[in-house]
Structure 1
Amino acid sequence: MATNSRDSDLGFLDLVNACDNFRLPANHRADIPLSSSTQDTLVPWTLTQSLDSPVVGLLKPEIIDLLREEEDGSWVIPDPASVPRTAYRVSFHPSIDTPAKRTKVMRKLCEGWRDSGTIYQDIIGPKKWRNEMYPVYRNPFGVHRAHDPKAGDDDSDDSNYAFEMERSACVLFGVVTYGVHMTIYQQTNGNEIQIWVPTRSRTKQTWPGYLDNSVAGGIPSGMSAFDSIVKEAAEEASIDEDITRRLAKCAGSISYYLQTSAGWLQPGVQYVYDMKIPDDIDPMLFQPKPADGEVESFDLLPLHVVISKMKQGLFKANCALVLIDFLIRHGYLTPENDPNFMEIVTRLHGRFHYDRW
């Protein structure tokens, strides 16, 4: 867990910078690497080699080197000398032309890397494997509805959904991931806001021991954002499904471009929800309780304490952004009390330079 005790050292813009910390170089499409010796450049990952094929991720050279070693013919990796640098891309083989086929290729690839015992075991090894499929979309800001075989969907390739892949492996391919975050809060008779804040389990695969949003989680393939928040509220916080469906309100979204300390890209979109505990109902009926082992405890904290802990760097990075968004929407962070207001607002809704992928 973070141990930074420098109360108020971090401003809200500092918290944004810690999560939205990556920018594509202006000429990155003209700077395609020829080998893994150029570690700071990125290669577009597309569905096909067609110039109008959507880019679904950005690959580091070391991933391309590993894909070259695959012998099943599922990948097209052109000779850099034979393709103009501005058109260079890595793609699936033309025969891998439906969501189901792409999903099958990605499952085999990622499970092979997991079971290798040597390839990125700190990311997708057995101890890091999530066994949860995430959707990959052609346009991260398009319709988010993944293929659901249980609903009788056919394997059409006409929608925004392109395929799905193991959650833990997404960071290796620079794809956009999607999640849901909800703030459960109440107001006292003196109109003070109090927020339920969980402490993440110290055995969590990511950010162990950090503070989190009241309820949060990824959106599994085939599930809507709202159904995901209902599921997470029940699984993480023991909140009855009926309560969440009745009181959770969509309050927008945030998007940010995170680069890890190891250089991996994690662009993220988080759907944001509020749940205000009604004034005329016993607030303890809404008290979240740890359920699935991912949360160590929940504490009901006054807003000023939440802000203090944010500024000490005690929150998971994207959870701090969700809380900043909450402060803006509820009038606690304004142009009058923070000179970086406009920078903060716009940075909470980035587009990942998607038009330049």
Structure 2
Amino acid sequence: MACGFCSLRPTLTSLLSSHALALAPTPHWPSSSLRISRALSAATLPITSSSSFFTWDDVSEIGRKESASPQNASSDLTGFLEKVDRCNRGSEKLAEFIPFVIEEQIVGYIHKGFTEYLREFHDTFTFSKNGCLGGDYVTLNLMFEKPEDRTRAVADVIRILGDKGIIPGIRNELYPVKPSFNAPAVFSLERAAAPYFGLKGYGVHMNGYVERDGQKSLWIGKRSLTKSTYPGMLDHLVAGGLPHGISCGDNLVKECEEEAGISKVIADRAIPVGAVSYMDIDQYCFKRDVLFCYDLKLPEDFVPTNQDGEVESFKLIPAAQVANVIRETSFFKANCSLVIIDFLFRHGSIRPESSGYLDLYRSLRNGDCS
């Protein structure tokens, strides 16, 4: 491939070639205070993220454990920092991944171990070296010139790997493959396979809240025990990945109806309030996710009703108590904690006087938020 490829790389691509690792500046991974916080708070967590056998009574008991003021959820941010740290694991393993390149653009990163599965499909995947980056990279056979051709060819591979159990949890839902959010898709890939190719993933996460007497409470969902991912854990009122061919706003309206029975009339009132991002490496998976955040102020008499069977139940909980649960437990699906912490910042429940305030704020937007 031509050396012009180097000039097209996004912010982090130079970090993932063996040549550039020694030369590039350190990426924006969590600060030392986050890494230290894991050790400080791990011993205080009553339930690990792998456990979903807790009840709403457990949630309420922990939520009320401290009489945190709604105006200052906690002056001790250690528990919050640990949750952000949990979403940003594995920076020391960056060198184990090589770029995935389409049309001279890096669209993802693939673990060297996982490439051994792809080498069996030499008619689809090509392994090359690039003189500019000085390292290996993976691309698709040049015979696949159109996005739809690439989609079909890779889908055949994913189906085989799924049948073998190498890529579990096939959902038959396509994600767009592109170097950045506003770039055109170069092809589409099965959602369950996205982390194995280190794609940029995008989602919509909505905090639905009620305000009474100046105090905010959040509607929280408990995921169904039949969910293939994070069964039984706590979640936002509404959240979902952003599949191919739908806008953030339209996807949010769809998810509102499916997950909480919120009508389009009400869902259209949701306010986009920014985004959080994280980078998580776990064995062969590299999640580089950007979550678009929304707030929706709901009528006091509104009660959510799940329509798609993915939520077991809902509970309206004071925001200060939700903050306690995030800080003290691992009841929440990991990335949901980030979005709720961002809500606490924006609604004044986390104050600049708290030690680690700026560290926590910066860490919510870790890595390449593009």
TM bucket, shorter chain: 0.7 to 0.9
Q: Does 1:309 align with 2:325?
A: yes
Query: What are the superposed Cα offsets for residues 126-162 of structure 1, whole Å, 9 maximum, x if unpaired?
Result: xx221111111122xx41xxxxxxxxxxxxxxx5322
1:351 offset after TM fit, Å?
2.5
* Structure possessing the higher relative contact order (Cα contacts under 8 Å, 6 or more residues apart): 2
Q: Is the 8 A contact 1:43 1:88 kept in 2?
A: yes
Give the corresponding residue for 1:63.
114
Give the corresponding residue for 1:46.
101
Q: Does 1:178 align with 2:202?
A: yes
Query: What are the superposed Cα offsets for residues 229-255 of structure 1, whole Å, 9 maximum, x if unpaired?
Result: 10001001111112101x111011111
Give the corresponding residue for 1:75.
125
1:89 alignment partner, SS class = strand
Q: What is the rounded CA distance, in whole Å, between the counterparts of 1:95 and 1:233 in structure 2?
A: 41
Give the corresponding residue for 2:247.
224
Query: What are the superposed Cα offsets for residues 22-52 of structure 1, whole Å, 9 maximum, x if unpaired?
Result: 42678x4xxxxxxxxxxxx11111015xxxx
Structure 1 residues 353 and 188, CA, compared in 2 at 3 Å: closer, same or farther?
closer
Give the corresponding residue for 1:241.
264
1:87 offset after TM fit, Å?
3.8
Amino acid at match of 2:124: S
Structure 1 residues 347 and 75, CA, compared in 2 at 3 Å: closer, same or farther?
same
1:84 offset after TM fit, Å?
7.9
1:11 offset after TM fit, Å?
1.4
Q: Does 1:161 align with 2:216?
A: no
Structure 1 residues 240 and 101, CA, compared in 2 at 3 Å: closer, same or farther?
same
Q: Is the 8 A contact 1:179 1:217 kept in 2?
A: yes
Q: What is the rounded CA distance, in whole Å, between the counterparts of 1:19 and 1:179 in structure 2?
A: 15
Q: What is the rounded CA distance, in whole Å, between the counterparts of 2:152 and 2:247 in structure 1?
A: 22
Q: Is the 8 A contact 1:2 1:313 kept in 2?
A: no
4+ aligned runs moved over 4 Å, structure 1: 2-10, 82-85
Query: What are the superposed Cα offsets for residues 45-77 of structure 1, whole Å, 9 maximum, x if unpaired?
Result: 1015xxxx2111111122211111114x22211
Structure 1 residues 252 and 269, CA, compared in 2 at 3 Å: closer, same or farther?
same
Give the corresponding residue for 2:281.
259
Q: What is the rounded CA distance, in whole Å, between the counterparts of 1:45 and 1:346 in structure 2?
A: 28
- Let me know the Cα RMSD of the aligned residues: 2.4
Q: Is the 8 A contact 2:320 2:349 kept in 1?
A: no
TM-score normalised to structure 1 length: 0.78
1:14 alignment partner, SS class = helix
Mind listing any 5+ residue stretches in structure 1 that lack a counterpart?
Answer: 29-40, 144-158
Structure 1 residues 353 and 341, CA, compared in 2 at 3 Å: closer, same or farther?
same
Q: What is the rounded CA distance, in whole Å, between the counterparts of 1:59 and 1:86 in structure 2?
A: 16
Q: Is the 8 A contact 2:221 2:237 kept in 1?
A: yes
Q: Percent of aligned pairs with the same residue?
A: 33
Q: Does 1:320 align with 2:329?
A: no
Q: What is the rounded CA distance, in whole Å, between the counterparts of 2:275 and 2:132 in structure 1?
A: 38
Query: What are the superposed Cα offsets for residues 77-126 of structure 1, whole Å, 9 maximum, x if unpaired?
Result: 13x7x9787242111122222211221122111112123xx341xx43xx
Structure 1 residues 187 and 353, CA, compared in 2 at 3 Å: closer, same or farther?
closer
Q: Is the 8 A contact 1:57 1:176 kept in 2?
A: yes
Q: 1:113 aligns with which of 139, 153, 161?
A: 161
Give the corresponding residue for 2:170.
129
Q: Is the 8 A contact 1:182 1:273 kept in 2?
A: yes
1:202 alignment partner, SS class = coil
TM-score normalised to structure 2 length: 0.76
Amino acid at match of 2:271: K
Q: Does 1:335 align with 2:359?
A: no
1:203 offset after TM fit, Å?
0.9
Give the corresponding residue for 2:308.
292
Q: What is the rounded CA distance, in whole Å, between the counterparts of 2:114 and 2:237 in structure 1?
A: 36
Q: Is the 8 A contact 2:124 2:154 kept in 1?
A: no
Q: Is the 8 A contact 1:24 1:353 kept in 2?
A: no
Mind listing any 5+ residue stretches in structure 2 that lack a counterpart?
Answer: 1-50, 67-75
1:169 offset after TM fit, Å?
0.9
Give the corresponding residue for 2:152.
104
Q: Is the 8 A contact 1:180 1:272 kept in 2?
A: yes
